[in-house]
Amino acid sequence: MNTISSPILFDSKLLHDPKLMPPSDRKAAMVMDINGCIAECNLAATDLLGRQPESLVGQNVSDVLPGLPFSQETPGYNLAYVGMNHALDAWKKQIARTPSGGSIDVEIVIYIIKRGCKCLIALFLRRPTFTALHA
């Protein structure tokens, strides 16, 4: 039987493991609680999104990446969404909101982090690797 397991990482050293975060791909990162609230972000993420850290921490990730259906009222759904829609290392296109009300194209990959009996969500961002040519 083929099953796709949820991308779950068991170590809080996620953002510093060179095997999980090769320099070319995963410099920009955020950690969220299961409610989608951004708990941590690194400077690469704030630079990519054009935001100050204090404008990200405490916000729901859906306010920054409106294509993600995370809500503080549905933590179980948020975890299921990651497990069902984000296969390990499958980068997905998203639109990020800028502070000025504009938008930028990004790609994301999401993992579930287990710290003891607590689950968190790690989200990595990058600029799109392929841009379609418009006629």
Summarize pLDDT for 54-68 with one digit per residue, the tens. 889 999 999 999 999
Q: Nearest 5°: phi and psi at 84?
A: -90, -25
Residues in the chain: 135
* CATH fold of 25-126: Beta-Lactamase (3.30.450)
Calpha distance 116→23 (Å, rounded): 27
Calpha distance 83→115 (Å, rounded): 17
Confidence of residue 11 (pLDDT cuts 50, 70, 90): very low
Residue 52 clears pLDDT 60, i.e. is over it: yes
Higher-confidence residue of 60 and 87: namely 60
Mean pLDDT of the chain: 79
Alpha helices of the chain — where are they, by DSSP H?
43-49, 53-56, 61-64, 75-85
Given this model, what pLDDT does residue 20 score?
52
* Residue 14 three-state SS: helix
Residues in CB range of 50: below 8 A, 6 or more apart:
98, 99, 104
Segments making up each domain of the chain, as ranges: 25-126
Give me the mean pLDDT over the 64-90 stretch. 87
Residues in CB range of 81: below 8 A, 6 or more apart:
68, 69, 70
Higher-confidence residue of 131 and 128: namely 128
Give this prediction's pTM. 0.77
pLDDT, tens only, 30-42: 999 999 999 989 8
